[in-house]
A and B are shown apart, each in its own frame.
Chain A
């Protein structure tokens, strides 16, 4: 059966983390931490997850619970220590704040990079694509000629988001990017995400706004300390999520 887009089986992910906050050789020697310079930090514990094609899933959980790590594992950016990650659809670049941006290059160059990373950029369609991205992002050519470092956070998010959703991705992963855009742009993004889902794409949506999650997704997954504590209806999931903070 190939009807799943993503299937994780008993997946655990960990990474080396410096101990005592050692980030320099000086600390390393001074704090005499060379006996145990790094410790293994397990972020995700035995995750089992199946997402069918065309599903829109919201990922909810407090900061540091492993949401981004889960997205990165699905995107193939991080390798699991154990378990099987099976993704049957092409992955678009992860939409997270500041991802893939080169601050010294112009807005146009950054659009080009993002489009190439999505695998949709060709010599023939580039002009049309770039114009479409600029139009969706509501950025003028004057703004886009400036280096990305002069952009505001909201403008950067607009640029990245627009570059990825300009075509119909098959698997879209959105990691909290919407929160920095202004109200008008957020509504526009949600509309576009809905369109993408209606056209058959699979979505994983990370947001700290339960209302937004309910608007877009039918299914919600709650993550605490790298474990799935709830997986099911979005309304129940957002209740679980709210319950994490009001005990």
Chain B
């Protein structure tokens, strides 16, 4: 039973990647298109408005890439148990492995997409330095955060099918509440708390520290992100543990 678990996990990741790009002519390049298109739109429309932000395209792109990873990752995890209902009903594989492999394949796509975009970022003004390596722990922490949110959504979605609809409706709201195309200081002071309440705001701070300013992530925001991640991780784990044994009867 145990010895083929590893193989099964790899197969599931492979299957997910294959499924995502199946029957698409450009395959993998479609994932690059999403942030690229938004980048062009933002640069075309807002470049003049945000002349005070130096290297504006770089600022937008660094935020966009991480937002797209969050939104794709959480949306896929939201549907993961419904999607794999046949397997869940016929094989005693731990249910978390479906979520891990689902995010795993998204992670692979994100990292692969990061390579061409890093080249573009270098053209847009990103300076090569050893500080760039700080992005690795940031990405790992961010991935755990996405997993935690995703597993909450995924577990609840088994019981309430409109969670996925609700979540994809909320996504644009989160997008506009995150400082992706703008800096947070343009928001009126009395509404700024909305942005602070958004976990992505804090993650974008440390992402930009590394990919925009080329410096190590600030300790202050790193600790906030760590706290947020730990909190959501245990919340997610709790909800998942509480509900997982009842998945089968509701799938």
Contact = CB atoms under 8 A, between A and B. Distances in A.
B140 interface: no
A76 interface: yes
A214 to B, nearest CB: 27
Nearest to A117: B91
Contacts of B18: 105, 109
Interface string B235-251: 00000000101101110
A200 B19 CA distance: 39
Interface in A4-58: 15-18, 22-26, 28, 38, 41
Given A23-B161, A119-B3, A96 B15 contact: no
A61 interface: no
Interface in B53-102: 86-92
A77 B19 contact: no
Interface stretch (A87-95, A129-137, A189-197): A87-95
B231 interface: no
Contact of B89 (A94, A113, A121): A94
Contacts of A24: 160-162
Contacts of A41: 249
B198 interface: no
A100 B12 CA distance: 12
Contacts, number: 93
Counting chain B CB atoms within 10 Å of each CB, the highest count among A41, A91, A99, A121 belongs to A99
Contacts of B7: 116, 121
Q: Is the interface of A mostly helix, strand, loop or mixed?
A: loop
Contact of A17 (B19, B22, B166, B250): B250
Nearest to B249: A15
B163 interface: yes
B245 A15 contact: yes
Contacts of B19: 102, 104-105
B249 A17 contact: yes
Interface residues of B, number: 29
Interface in B135-165: 159-163
A99 B11 contact: no
A101 interface: yes
A23 B159 contact: yes
B215 to A, nearest CB: 43
A116 B4 contact: yes
Contacts of A78: 245, 248
Interface string A117-145: 10101000000000000000000000000
Interface residues of A, number: 38
A96 B1 CA distance: 20
B162 A25 contact: yes
A77 B249 contact: no
Nearest to A119: B4
B249 A23 contact: no
A75 interface: yes
Interface in A57-72: 72
Nearest to A27: B160
A79 B244 CA distance: 10
Given A117-B8, A119-B4, A100 B162 contact: no
A113 B161 contact: no
A98 interface: yes
9 closest pairs, A vs B, by CB?
A: A99-B90, A76-B92, A16-B246, A15-B249, A24-B162, A119-B4, A94-B90, A25-B160, A15-B246
Given A22-B160, A77-B91, A96-B90, 17 more contacts: A16-B243, A17-B246, A23-B161, A24-B162, A25-B166, A26-B162, A38-B159, A76-B92, A77-B92, A77-B248, A90-B1, A94-B90, A100-B86, A100-B91, A105-B18, A116-B11, A119-B3
